[in-house]
Structure formats: structure tokens, C-alpha cells
Structure 1
Amino acid sequence: MSWPAQKDRRRDKRRREMLWAASDVFTALDFNQANMQAIADSAGVTKATLYAHFDDKEQLYRAVIDYWLEELPEPKLPCQARGGLRACLERVARELLQQSEQPASHALTHIALRSNRIPQKRWRQRYLPYQNYLEKALSQSARCSDHGQAATQFLLLAVGSIDCSNLMAVSGPRLAAAVELFVQAYA
């Protein structure tokens, strides 16, 4: 491996370690109480090193949120919604439950619970693949006149909130209830 490539890998590793440390500090202290010195100490770097990577706490915070959002796996939903409404809803429910069990989801949830500084638009983007798939599935139902609104309503029932101001734990029973309600309403 060439010297520049090794240097880039070390820099990326250090940046990732700083993001993890910042996640821990933002979770423990929230945004307002956290400071660059505490984050540097947690990361095992100097404050100067931290500032070499991030201009200020706000930029670091955004980088942490972006990092964890990017770490969330894409849901494994097929391009076409096939197999009947129940099957499609159950597929979405399984994927939502799997996503909620990811370390990235845990990190984002803990940070969001301590601070409401996560941009709502960016937070909601994590639900777009589900929204799109649900709209396709619900478009097959003659009883559903507004596929977009119904898809949003399913997500609200399934996860409690699609913004980060009112977070709730995703659970199997909650997802099953959402599936049953929508099957009764639209199948």
C-alpha cells in the first residue's frame, strides 16, 4: 500500500474514532453541555487535533449525525410491492425492527433524546425508502385514496414518530398492531 493511502486510512480511522467519542459525549452531556475539550479527552486526542478535523462543535455535531445516518443500512425492500398488502406491510415492519436494532439507530436515538438539534428533514430521510415502498403497496388497494398520507400514517403507528421530537422504541407488538390495523382498513 502506498504511503498516501496509508496516511488517508489513518486519518479516516482517527476521524471515525473522534466521531464515536463525540457521540458518547453528546449522549452523556447533550449538545449545550458538551465541549470540544471533553470530546478531545474522550477521543484521546488533543483539542488542536479535533479542531484540525472540525471547525467547531456545531460542525462536529452535524458530522456525528451524518455519520450515524450513513451507517444505517438501507432497508432490503424490493422495487415492486408484490404479494398482497399484508405481506408488504409485514416486510416493512421486519425491516423497521431490524433497523431499530442497529448500533447506528441506537446512537442516533440516544443523541436525539439528549438534544433536539437534529435537523428534522435529515432525520425523516431515513424513512423515505419505507414511505416509497408503502405508497406502492397501498396504491394496489382500491380502499386507499391517498397513498402518501396512508404511508405516513402507517409509519407513525409503527415507529411512533418520524421526527426526532417524540422518540419511542420500535417493538414487535407495536409493528404487528400497525400491520393489523392497516390490513383491516385497506385490504
Structure 2
Amino acid sequence: MKKTSTELSPAKRAQILGGASQVFSELGYERASVDQIAARAGVSKATVYNHFEDKKALFLACFSEGITAMEDQLNALLDTPTGNLERDLQQIGEALLRLILSPVLVKRYLVFAAQADQFPELGEELFEQGVWSGYQRMARYLERASAAGDLRFDDSLEAAIDFCSLCTGDFSIRVELAMREGLEEARLQARVSRAVRVFLKCYRA
């Protein structure tokens, strides 16, 4: 049967994801069902399946919902270097931290982490689509900087992981433990500034 534009409208998709986020947060991935999600979203089960192949696809979509603008900002910085390496890295690091420290992303990560042992294949997909994809994009940015003669390294992917790790430091574990005090913007910028200095000391050509 042909799917109508109403069934596939962005508003309906957002409505489904809103209900799904609530159900996943309350029940976790295993106990949540598509029936419960449809009821919470106020749509039919058929409408949910018109938008999402299965519960896994719905869960993965929930992880990115609400953080698209931050992801787009980070990707734009990675894809359009200005030629000022130090300034670019500072902006990239700050955008990265704002993304991974966003309350919505941390909350959804904790929902899944509590039962990750039961669904290792889902964890692998989340890692591939999120963290690993980000590392690869960062590596491509660093490769362009290397081609311009600004950086020198043996492995761009390892260099990308180094930079991201220097930026995150202990911030990610702090927010996972609900220790958000002291993570204001000024401290975020200072953390990234230090990460950029250490990274360039190691990798500047």
C-alpha cells in the first residue's frame, strides 16, 4: 500500500520519537514495545512502522533526535577549515564537548548503558553511527591539515582519537555521574584550549 504524505510527515515522525523517548527512558530498550510507543505517541502501530523499520531503528533514531543542530555545527566546522589550525581546533573541540555533554544525549546513553550487555549488536551500531563516524570525520579533517603541511602523524585516525580524548578528559564521566557543577562554558573553553596546546605540541609539523 502506498504511504501517504501525512503518514510520513516530519511532524508525525517527531510525535512518534517523542513518545518513544519517553517509553525508552521509563522502561529501557528490552521492556519497551512498539505498541506502548504507539499508544504514548497517540498514533497507530501501523503509522510507527511506516516511519521506522523496527524497534531498533526507532531507538537509534531517538539517540540523534534533539542533537541534530549540534551535530550539524560540528560537521560544518570539520568540513570547512579556515586555514587557521589552532582556531579551527578550538572551535571543533568546543562543539564536540557541547554535543557529548548535552543532557539529552547523556540521558539516552545512560538508558542504553544500563542494559548494553544484553544487546551488544545495538551497542556496536550506536558506536559505529556516533563515536566511530565522528572519529573518521575528524581524521579526514586532520589529513587535510597534514596535506597543507600543518600536521605530521603516522595514523590520522589515532591522531583524531587523541584529540577527542584530550578534549573530553573527565568531563564525560562527570556528567554520567550527574556531576555537572563546574562544567560551565568558561571551563569547557579552557579544557579545549589545553587540549589544543597538547595536541599541537605532539603533532604540529
Q: TM-score, normalised by structure 1?
A: 0.69
The equivalent of 2:196 in structure 1 is 179
Mapped to 1, the partners of 2:42 and 2:6 lie a distance apart of 18
How far is the alpha carbon of 1:31 from its aligned partner?
0.5
Structure 1 runs (4+) deviating above 6 angstroms are none
Change (3 A) 1:54 1:98: closer
Give the count of matched residue pairs. Answer: 174
Mapped to 1, the partners of 2:62 and 2:20 lie a distance apart of 7
What are the ranges of 5 or more consecutive residues in structure 2 without an aligned counterpart? 117-121, 176-182
- Contact kept in structure 2, 1:144 and 1:150, CA below 8 Å: yes
AA partner of residue 29 (structure 2): F
Q: Percent identity?
A: 28
Deviates more, 1:54-63 or 1:118-127: 54-63
Q: 1:39 aligns with which of 33, 37, 40?
A: 37
AA partner of residue 156 (structure 2): H
Task: Within 5 Å, give how 1:21-100 maps onto structure 2.
Answer: 21-54=19-52, 56-65=54-63, 72-75=71-74, 76-77=76-77, 79-80=80-81, 82-83=83-84, 85-100=85-100
How far is the alpha carbon of 1:67 from its aligned partner?
5.5
The equivalent of 1:131 in structure 2 is 139
What are the ranges of 5 or more consecutive residues in structure 1 without an aligned counterpart? 1-6
How far is the alpha carbon of 1:121 from its aligned partner?
1.2
1:86-137 CA-to-partner distances (Å, cap 9, x unmatched) read 2232132233245447xxx654432222114341211222443333213333
AA partner of residue 113 (structure 1): L
Mapped to 1, the partners of 2:7 and 2:16 lie a distance apart of 12
Change (3 A) 1:90 1:39: same
- Contact kept in structure 1, 2:21 and 2:62, CA below 8 Å: yes
- Contact kept in structure 1, 2:23 and 2:36, CA below 8 Å: yes
Mapped to 2, the partners of 1:73 and 1:18 lie a distance apart of 22
Q: TM-score, normalised by structure 2?
A: 0.64
Mapped to 1, the partners of 2:7 and 2:62 lie a distance apart of 18
Q: Secondary structure at the match of 2:163?
A: helix
The equivalent of 1:3 in structure 2 is none
The equivalent of 1:11 in structure 2 is 8
How far is the alpha carbon of 1:25 from its aligned partner?
2.0
Mapped to 2, the partners of 1:55 and 1:144 lie a distance apart of 42
